[in-house]
């Protein structure tokens, strides 16, 4: 049975409100939370940037959800050892409930520390090296590292869970997908067309099989953005006002400022959300979309309703969508 969880937009809601949303979601059948790790919102309208790791500690204490960041870049704001430290602590506190989602980063969040923003291939190399460091630290052994991008003096992680925290990698490109399947424990990818997602799953599976792993047994997480409201018109207005970045069909990794995204948001129209954000008041459409992704092979789906009507949406999904999924 697939897990349907809550995608918690820490760039859009106050952290206390998101704890309340997560608890309500658990009461209505959602199982699991993916927490956005953002230093800035996409656009000023969203208005928040709570620290994901502090928030996840509170989430673990106040709910029974499994959870993890969707996703952390362990290469710029954070040295990989800092992420290993945070992940090991959460894993020790909440055994079997915390997973570590990693990605190559976006300038919107990572440029805060300044310096050169590398090209995609170099960011991928940095991610690979960072994962290597984190995995070594999860072993509990003394580790030192002298690599192309990172250095770390001899150190060990003292507080560890009984089993290493699983590492899931956010990926869409073939090279990253195959490496993720080979080197890591699971996949995170955003919603897209079935044709594109089939290719993503196959590339991930190729990497897993090359390492002697069974891709069918590995976690495959999908993040979805939807806009549900009592009417299609209200749902569309919420998408345009609250989540215009969902209608921007171009790579966003190099855009550095919420104000820059806001300027581009003036060009976003209803048709730009097609295939990217489901905008509909019809809960049967939402159920059918989720079922289609389950049938493709995703075993965990984390849903973010982009509007401010979180309580109504959670209750509507709990009553009319989640119980009907197979």
Nearest by Cα to 157 from 83, 101, 88, 72:
88
Residue 68 contacts residue 35 (beta carbons within 8 Å): yes
Of the listed 106, 129, 242, 300, which one is catalytic? 106
- Sign of the Cα torsion 18, 193, 173, 220 reads positive
Q: Could you say which DSSP state residue 165 is in? A: P
Element (H, E) at 266: none
Rounded to an integer, what distance in angstroms lies between the CA atom of residue 190 and that of residue 244?
A: 16
The yes-or-no answer on residue 225 being catalytic is no
Catalytic option among 11, 21, 26, 38: 38
* Residues 6 or more apart in contact with residue 246 via CB below 8 angstroms: 225, 239, 273, 276, 277, 306
Q: Find out whether 58 and 33 touch, Cβ atoms under 8 Å.
A: no
- E strand residue ranges, 151-229: 151-155, 167-170, 186-190, 220-227
Can you read off the two tokens belonging to residue 238?
């919420």
Tokens read off for 155: 């150190």
User: 194 an active-site residue?
Assistant: no
Q: For residues 229 and 312, what is the distance between their CA atoms, to the nearest angstrom? A: 8
Neighbours of 110 (CB within 10 A): 21
Interior angle at CA 261, CA 240 and CA 78, nearest 5: 120
Apex CA 115: angle with CA 40 and CA 42, to 5°? 15
CA distance 147 to 289: 44
CB 304 within 8 A of CB 226: yes
Active site residues: 38, 106
């Amino acid at each position: 049975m697939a897990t349907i969880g809550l995608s918690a937009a820490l760039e859009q809601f106050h952290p206390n409100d998101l704890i309340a949303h997560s608890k309500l979601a658990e009461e209505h059948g959602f199982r699991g939370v993916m927490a956005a790790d953002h230093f800035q919102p996409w656009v000023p309208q969203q208005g928040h940037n709570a620290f994901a790791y502090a928030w996840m500690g509170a989430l673990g204490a106040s709910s029974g959800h499994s959870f993890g960041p969707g996703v952390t870049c362990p290469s710029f704001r954070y040295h990989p050892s800092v992420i290993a430290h945070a992940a090991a602590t959460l894993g020790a506190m909440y055994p079997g409930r915390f997973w570590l989602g990693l990605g190559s980063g976006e300038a919107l969040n990572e440029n805060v520390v300044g310096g050169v923003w590398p090209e995609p291939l170099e960011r991928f190399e940095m991610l690979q090296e960072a994962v290597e460091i984190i995995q070594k630290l999860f072993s509990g052994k003394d580790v030192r590292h002298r690599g192309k991008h990172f250095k770390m003096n001899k150190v060990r992680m003292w507080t560890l869970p009984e089993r290493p925290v699983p590492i899931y990698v956010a990926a869409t490109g073939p090279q990253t997908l195959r490496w993720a399947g080979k080197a890591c424990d699971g996949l995170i990818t955003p919603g897209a067309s079935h044709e594109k997602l089939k290719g993503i799953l196959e590339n991930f599976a190729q990497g897993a099989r090359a390492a002697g792993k069974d891709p069918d047994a590995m976690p495959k997480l999908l993040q979805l953005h939807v806009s549900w409201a009592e009417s299609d018109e209200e749902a569309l207005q919420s998408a345009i006002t609250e989540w215009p970045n969902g209608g921007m069909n171009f790579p966003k990794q190099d855009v550095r400022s919420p104000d820059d995204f806001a300027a581009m948001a003036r060009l976003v129209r209803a048709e730009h959300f097609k295939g990217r954000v489901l905008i509909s008041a019809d809960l049967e459409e939402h159920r059918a979309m989720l079922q289609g992704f389950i049938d493709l092979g995703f075993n965990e789906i984390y849903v973010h309703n982009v509007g401010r009507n979180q309580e109504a949406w959670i209750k509507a999904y709990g009553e009319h969508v989640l119980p009907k999924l197979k």
